[in-house]
């Protein structure tokens, strides 16, 4: 199997892990702006992490059900390449944000079955730039380390790029890619030593593993 998928490391919240993601050439680096998340960042802390920002790794600002004022504040201070919405944002809300702020959007959607997948494609793929297919939320949106049945998205062919998320780690990524053949993948808790605490070596090893699949 040849590697042809992009890699997103989400929930980076310290300099060592930021450096590891950048040095390993992660395609996307996600920063979380959601105060209920253990990976939450202040805008000031995020600005410090972005001092070594480069052109290769796209910066993704993740928010949950944010109002326009907060989205504007993030856009002005962080200048992300993408916004990721991981809450209950409706298709209408996504369209409203995209038009008002002129920003590329990733929409995180929990997938329980084929019907969820069909509905996600119908509702969002013409409004969002990337669909992030995740395990359904339990306590917090995203980053829960819970896998779902990858066969649900086998032969998935949305018109837009999509990302596979939900419980990925260095031990199952090869199987996940083999089953679902995603154009991109997203990992958060799978490179953590405890909830919200990532490990630079785990990030490097995971990306190396992905590049050699």
Per-residue pLDDT of the chain (213 residues; tens, 9 = 90+): 445 899 999 999 999 999 999 999 999 999 999 999 999 999 999 999 999 899 899 999 999 999 999 999 999 999 999 999 999 999 999 999 999 999 999 999 988 888 888 898 889 988 999 999 988 765 555 545 566 778 888 877 777 789 999 889 999 999 999 999 999 999 999 999 999 999 999 999 999 999 998
Check residue 143 and give its pLDDT. 47
Q: What is the 3-state secondary structure (H, E, C) of the chain?
A: CCCCCEEEEECCCCHHHHHHHHHCCCCEEEEECCCCCCCECCHHHHHHHHHHCCCCCEEEEEECCCCHHHHHHHHHHHCCCEEEECCCCCHHHHHHHHHHHCCCEEEEEECCCHHHHHHHHHHHCCCCCEEEEECCCCCCCCCCCCCCCHHHHCCCCCCCEEEECCCCCCCCHHHHHHHHCCCEEEECHHHEEECCEECHHHHHHHHHHHHCC
Instruction: Please give the Cα distance from 140 to 33 (Å, whole number).
Output: 13
Check residue 149 and give its pLDDT. 79
Please, what are the domains in the chain? 6-211 (3.20.20.70)
Check residue 155 and give its pLDDT. 74
Check residue 139 and give its pLDDT. 52
Instruction: Please give the Cα distance from 58 to 170 (Å, whole number).
Output: 22
pTM, two decimals, is 0.93
Instruction: Please give the Cα distance from 194 to 190 (Å, whole number).
Output: 10
Instruction: Please give the Cα distance from 133 to 156 (Å, whole number).
Output: 11
Instruction: Please give the Cα distance from 207 to 83 (Å, whole number).
Output: 23
């Amino acid at each position: 199997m040849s590697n042809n998928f992009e890699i997103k490391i989400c929930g980076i919240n310290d300099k060592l892990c930021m450096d590891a993601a950048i040095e390993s050439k992660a395609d996307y680096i996600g920063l979380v702006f959601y105060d209920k998340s253990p990976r939450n960042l202040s805008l000031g802390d995020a600005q410090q992490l972005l001092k070594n920002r480069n052109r290769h790794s796209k910066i993704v600002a993740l928010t949950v059900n944010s109002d326009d004022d907060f989205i504007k504040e993030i856009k002005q201070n962080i200048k992300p390449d993408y916004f990721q919405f991981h809450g209950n944002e409706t298709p209408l809300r996504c369209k409203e944000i995209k038009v008002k702020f002129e920003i590329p959007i990733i929409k995180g959607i929990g997938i329980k079955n084929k019907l969820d997948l069909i509905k996600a494609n119908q509702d969002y793929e013409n409004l969002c730039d990337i669909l992030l297919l995740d395990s359904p939320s339990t306590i917090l949106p995203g980053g829960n380390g819970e896998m779902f049945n990858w066969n649900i998205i086998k032969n998935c062919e949305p018109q837009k790029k999509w990302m596979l998320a939900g419980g990925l780690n260095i031990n199952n990524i090869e199987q996940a890619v083999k089953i679902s053949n995603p154009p991109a993948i997203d990992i958060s808790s799978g490179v953590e030593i405890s909830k919200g605490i990532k490990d630079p070596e785990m990030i490097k090893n995971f990306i190396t593993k992905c590049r050699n699949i």
